[in-house]
Amino acid sequence: MELKREITNLPELVNKLKKKDKELFNRFYSVKLSVGRLKVTPEMETFVKSKFKSIKKTENQKIVCINNKLTWEGNLFNELRSMRPKPKVKFKLSELDNKENCLFCNIEKQTPLDIFGRIKGKHCITASNIAKCDKFHGLIIFNEHNPLKLKKAWLKDYFETAEKWFDRTDNSNKKMINNFLIWNCLWRSSASIIHGHMQITASETKYQKIIRLEEIYDKYKKKYKSDYFLDLFKIHKNLGLGEKIGKSMVLYYLTPIKEKEIVVLSKEKRFPEISDLIYNLIKNYFRIGVQSFNVSLTKIKEYWMLRLVDRGSLENRNSDIGVMELYANSVVAYDPFRLVKEIKL
């Protein structure tokens, strides 16, 4: 019988790889499969069946722990986590079209501008962030209010406008070594304003998580005479979790920070050149029910690195991130082997 491609079978899937590929996987990752057991009371049976589908699966929960030994990223996968009952708030998607009192629908009057002024795209305009995270902190404010409405040409324009903004900050201060693009879409992802927008920061100091990754990349090159990102992609590809699209590598990540994380590593010269790929990924996200997400985009060594993660239903009242994600291992329900099947590029 063919081995099912799912995260609980990861140890066996790795075992089936060629010796060299197995060694490469083991250089990066440690995997531990365990079973968490419990006993369901007779009074709980109906509830357990309706929520978790199977009493047997609930009484014997397969948990996969995956740790990246080089980056210290770590996960605990258990699909049952997504089936837990959650506190909900009532919400209708049509509320996202309500423009009443929207500051970003009145950009020129209600948002500050950067010291070098505003940059106008065809489908967006820049503003300065009123409460800054960093030396330069701007906004790409979309002409479209509803953040879940997106077109290919619009996204390309947002990125091209962001690129112009980075150039402008660089012209006014040559020491800008840190360019970082942030897209928090809706409140689950920490966006404080509904109207569609991205954020862009530029400063003299790189962020710690970027520095750390660059150090890992350098150390890896020195020790193994190989490219960390290429090898990371190779591991994902060997398991059916990596896809090459043009000059970009798409990874259905083995150690996602949270649900459905996808990492793109691209050697395109300019980041707006990967906007069609990003558009396709986000459209796929929408198709599989994602409503709120985070996107980060920055340059690490020779690569543009984009990370995309689902932040859960807009009806959820509880945060998707707790002590485990902040201080331990990320707890994730969505299987990357399922994700790769769902996303059609």
Q: Which is nearer to Zn ion, 55 or 105 (CB)?
A: 105
Q: How far is the CB of 152 from Zn ion (least distance, A)?
A: 21
What SS3 state is found at 275? helix
DSSP 327-341: HS-EEE-S-HHHHHH
CA angle 64, 292, 87 (to 5 degrees): 70
Q: Which helix (H) or strand (E) holds 68?
A: strand 60-68
CA separation, residue 170 to residues 202, 203, 214, 250 (Å): 8, 9, 21, 29
Closest CA to 71 of 197, 239, 216, 250: 216
Q: Verify binding: residue 234, Zn ion, rule CB under 5 A.
A: no
Q: How far is the CB of 123 from Zn ion (least distance, A)?
A: 14
Tell me how far apart the 2 most distant CA atoms of the chain are, in Å: 70
The CA distance from 69 to 47, in Å, is: 39
Using the rule CB under 5 A, give the single segment among 143-151, 175-183, 265-273, 298-306 that binds Zn ion: 143-151
Question: Under a CB-based contact definition with an 8 Å cutoff, are residues 275 and 163 in contact?
Answer: no
Decide the pairing of beta strands 293-300 and 303-310: antiparallel
Per-residue binding string, Zn ion, 100-139, x by CB under 5 A, is --x-xx----------------------------------
With CB under 5 A, what is the number of residues at the site for Zn ion? 6
Q: Which is nearer to Zn ion, 196 or 256 (CB)?
A: 196
Using the rule CB under 5 A, give the single segment among 85-93, 187-195, 209-217, 310-318 that binds Zn ion: 187-195
Using the rule CB under 5 A, give the single segment among 162-170, 188-196, 265-273, 308-316 that binds Zn ion: 188-196
The residue within the footprint of Zn ion, chosen from 27, 57, 145, 338 (CB under 5 A), is: 145
Q: Which is nearer to Zn ion, 16 or 99 (CB)?
A: 99
Q: How far is the CB of 8 from Zn ion (least distance, A)?
A: 44
Q: How far is the CB of 130 from Zn ion (least distance, A)?
A: 16
Q: Which is nearer to Zn ion, 128 or 143 (CB)?
A: 143
* Interface positions, 85-104, toward Zn ion (CB under 5 A): 99, 102, 104
The CA distance from 141 to 111, in Å, is: 10
The residue within the footprint of Zn ion, chosen from 156, 168, 195, 260 (CB under 5 A), is: 195
Q: How many CB atoms lie within 10 A of CB 74?
A: 17
Residues in the site for Zn ion, rule: CB under 5 A? Answer: 99, 102, 104-105, 145, 195
